[in-house]
């Protein structure tokens, strides 16, 4: 799985003019299931995100996790994180999980992240979404489960 994590002051996602998910201080997590990903992949990514120390401590160092600050997460599915741009000018998305697997793993990931003790709101899988955020820092972190053994 791939995730783009942004530390936010607040974030929301809108579908057809209606806010369907939002968070205050915490994380905006854009997530994409890749071909071959399993529930174990989602569990490991959720645990890693929950413990990722990207919030400032009293000394101003990034030394606290979203759990430490009592923050929430807005999780939005984004298959374009699977983009292959190595050739040509049009990205390819064949590395992304098939839509039914992508939906299942996206939903499983959100449950797993909630299981870490983080309040989670979501977008709507496959919908045309408008995402608003106030990036705090800015801090933006790229995680790819394939990068870890």
What is the Cα–Cα distance from 49 to 15, expressed in whole angstroms? 25
- Name residue 11's beta-bridge partners: 23, 133
Is there a cis peptide before residue 84, judged by omega within 30 degrees of 0? no
CA dist 19 to 7, 8, 14, 26, 131, Å? 20, 17, 4, 18, 9
Q: Just list the catalytic residues.
A: 78-80
43 phi and psi, to 5 degrees?
Answer: -60, -45
DSSP state letters, 56-67: E-TTSSEEE-HH
Coil, helix or strand at residue 103: helix
């Amino acid at each position: 799985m791939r995730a783009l994590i942004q530390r936010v002051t607040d974030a929301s996602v809108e579908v057809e003019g209606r806010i369907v998910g939002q968070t205050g201080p915490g994380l905006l997590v854009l997530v994409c299931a890749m071909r071959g990903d399993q529930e174990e992949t989602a569990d490991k990514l959720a645990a890693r995100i929950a413990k990722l120390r990207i919030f400032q401590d009293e000394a101003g160092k990034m030394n606290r996790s979203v759990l430490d600050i009592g923050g929430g997460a807005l999780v939005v599915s984004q298959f374009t994180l699977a983009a292959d741009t190595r050739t040509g000018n049009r990205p390819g998305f064949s590395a992304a999980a098939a839509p039914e697997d992508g939906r299942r793993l996206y939903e499983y990931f959100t449950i797993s992240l909630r299981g870490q003790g983080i309040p989670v709101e979501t977008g709507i899988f496959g919908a045309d979404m408008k995402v608003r955020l106030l990036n705090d820092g800015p801090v933006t972190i790229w995680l790819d489960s394939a990068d870890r053994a």
